[in-house]
């Protein structure tokens, strides 16, 4: 995205196709220089031409509120759902020794760097 400088979008919303446009998405973010909200709508016409609409400040908020009903999903939602429940991507192991009475039980966990943890197995010794 570009406003006062080039920067990466905070979130990208993918929109439903309508009668005139397909492959639509809305990138939103805050300019690091002036701290204004910036929105950029990218749409492909069915004849193959690209239409980009950029807005900042109050116009960006209005653009987002006008398109709010057409949002299918966002990148942030998908990343949150992917990493919410089970360990994802890079993993590391944790072994914990728990004493229960006279026995020791070793619990082996698989953890990821998002804070998710899953019990793999219990080893009685």
- Per-residue pLDDT at 88: 62
- Whether 4 has a pLDDT exceeding 80, the answer reads yes
Give the pTM: 0.61
Do residues 110 and 55 both lie within one domain?
A: no
Angle of CA points 12, 68, 49, to nearest 5°: 60
Do residues 16 and 72 both lie within one domain?
A: yes
Express each pLDDT in 72-120 by its tens digit.
888 888 776 665 566 666 778 888 998 878 888 999 988 887 777 888 8
58-75 average pLDDT score? 88
Within a domain: 56: yes
- Per-residue pLDDT at 87: 62
- Per-residue pLDDT at 38: 92
What domain range includes position 74? 11-82
């Amino acid at each position: 995205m570009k406003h006062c400088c080039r920067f990466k979008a905070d979130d990208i919303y993918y929109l439903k196709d309508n009668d005139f446009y397909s492959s639509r998405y809305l990138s939103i973010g805050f300019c690091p220089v002036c701290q204004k909200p910036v929105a950029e709508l990218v749409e492909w016409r069915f004849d193959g031409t690209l239409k980009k609409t950029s807005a900042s400040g109050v116009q960006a908020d209005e653009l987002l509120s006008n398109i709010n009903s057409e949002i299918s999903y966002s990148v942030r939602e998908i990343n949150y759902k992917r990493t919410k429940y089970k360990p994802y991507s890079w993993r590391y192991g944790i072994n914990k020794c728990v004493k229960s009475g006279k026995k020791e039980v070793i619990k082996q966990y698989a953890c990821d760097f998002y804070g998710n943890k899953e019990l793999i197995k219990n080893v009685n010794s």
